[in-house]
Amino acid sequence: MLKILHTSDWHLGANFETFSREADHREFFRWLKETIERESVDVLVVAGDIFDQAAPSAEAQRLYYGLLHDLADSPLSQVVVVGGNHDSAARLEAPRELLSHFRVHVVGGGISSDPASLLPCLCPIPGKSGGIDAMILAVPYVHEWRLGYRLDEGVDPAAAAPMNDCFRRLYFELANLGEAKGDGAPLVATGHLAATGGEKGDAPAEIHRVGTLGGLSPDIFDPRLFYVALGHIHRRYRVGRTRAFYSGSPIALTVKEGLSPRSVNLVTLGGEEPVVLRREISGTRRVLEIRGNLDDVRDQIASLEWNSKLPPLVTVFVETAAHAGLTQEILDFASALPRPVTVASVARFTPGSAVEEGASDRTRPCLADLTPTDVFRLLCESRQEDASELLPAFESLLEEEGQP
């Protein structure tokens, strides 16, 4: 029996509005270490987006390496970390040789249609009595152009079929390698991508072609894969009827994410099918929105209750006309309560107004959800330039800089 804890999308260094989430990540890491110990976990798999930015702050890196240091004394036999679209592949892989001495296997990027590029993905999990208990196929975020497929701008979404073929071939080749090197051990893969087939039948946000193509097909995952640990989507679900699962993000990064509990997947190998259990993360703080007139807002803030160590993180919208000093008034009120509430932002709106004053334009895509290539495309679009002619040169520059 082998136990794997699957998590993803930590986004270390992230803010809510302008409020740092460092304390939230520290609480999650405390829970994670306790859970690994309590559940006798053998392998920790982190399926991408370790950091929120390609150039993370010193504080975010200190959190990450501090956790890896602490896990070196845990019962874990292996930690597997893969890069996401928010991570710098080169930055993640820079200390790879050093981390390998602490049983940490890192694959930041570098995957292509060249079979030799797949060899670093292989991470055998040694058995306690010899042999191999599992073969991890550590697949990071992979842009489709690295697999030999480029989509011209304006192409019908039906053209997604060749792109699905590229990823299907990738997992097929990896399964072949895993079988050849794994001595019959179960194959466990990772991925940082958007796959359709959610519990509610809705397609998640695109990752490879924002606004052009939907998620990848569930059948890209080779049937020989015993479990696929996915990242990128911040909610937990199973991909269709496959053995591929998202774990979701461990902390709520938006108000919408705050509506559902945060969790990780605890996966047990050893039978004919993997046993996948949800472990809800305890102690996570609430992230919520409060709106109404000034009296309503005060009442709602004052009536908030919580059991977490950290107080709720609140964004406030007040229905009022021009009101000098409104933000400070709300902040002072929330901080003076017997149990102070953390207000991340305050904005006002007037009845019937389309846009709240002081609030960000929520109709635009969030920069944190876009890859550098996505931003480049949107920039070209805003300048009415043909991105298809410029993209190859831009992506070559990204490759030189070590960006995924």
Residue 364 has pLDDT above 50, yes or no: no
pLDDT band at 400 (very low <50, low <70, confident <90, very high): low
Alpha-carbon span 184 to 186, nearest angstrom: 7
Tens digits of per-residue pLDDT, 164-193?
Answer: 888 999 999 999 999 999 888 999 999 999
Give the strand pairing for 78-82 and 104-107.
parallel
Give Cα 81 to chain centroid, integer Å.
Answer: 12
Q: Mean pLDDT over residues 295-301, rounded?
A: 95
Q: Could you give all domains of the chain from N- to C-terminal order, each with its CATH number?
A: 2-280 (3.60.21.10), 287-349 (3.30.160), 371-401 (no CATH)
C-alpha closest to that of 359 among 368, 350, 369, 349: 349
pTM of the model: 0.83
Q: What's the confidence (pLDDT) of residue 240?
A: 87
Distance CA 234, CA 257 (A): 7
Q: Return the closest-CA partner of residue 338 out of 365, 311, 320.
A: 311
Q: How far apart are CA 138 and CA 190, in angstroms?
A: 5
Task: State the average pLDDT for the chain.
Answer: 85
Q: In angstroms, rounded to a whole number, what is the distance separating the alpha carbons of residues 143 and 121?
A: 16
**pLDDT of residue 399 exceeding 50:** yes
How far CA 213 is from CA of 160, 194, 245, 272, 345, in Å, comes to 7, 10, 21, 35, 34
Amino acid at 231: G
pLDDT band of residue 17 (cuts 50, 70, 90) is confident
Q: What is the mean pLDDT of residues 244-257?
A: 94
pLDDT range class, residue 388, cuts 50, 70, 90: low
Looking at residues 190-219, what average pLDDT do you find?
64
The answer to whether the beta carbons of residues 193 and 207 sit under 8 Å apart is: yes
Q: How many CB atoms are closer than 10 A to CB 165? A: 15
Closest by Cα among 339, 340, 342 to 316: 342
Residue 212 pLDDT > 50, yes or no?
no
- Residue 78, pLDDT score: 96
Residue 103 has pLDDT above 60, yes or no: yes
Higher pLDDT, 290 or 360: 290
DSSP letters spanning 101-163: TTTEEEE-S---SSGGGGGGGEEEEE-TTSSEEEEEE------GGGGT--PPTT--GGGHHHH
Task: Return phi, psi of residue 113, to 5°.
Answer: -75, -10
Cβ partners under 8 Å of residue 54, min gap 6: 86, 87, 88, 91, 372, 403
- Distance between CA atoms of residues 289 and 47, nearest Å: 29
Phi first, then psi: give them for residue 22, nearest 5 degrees.
-60, -45
The CA distance from 144 to 334, in Å, is 48
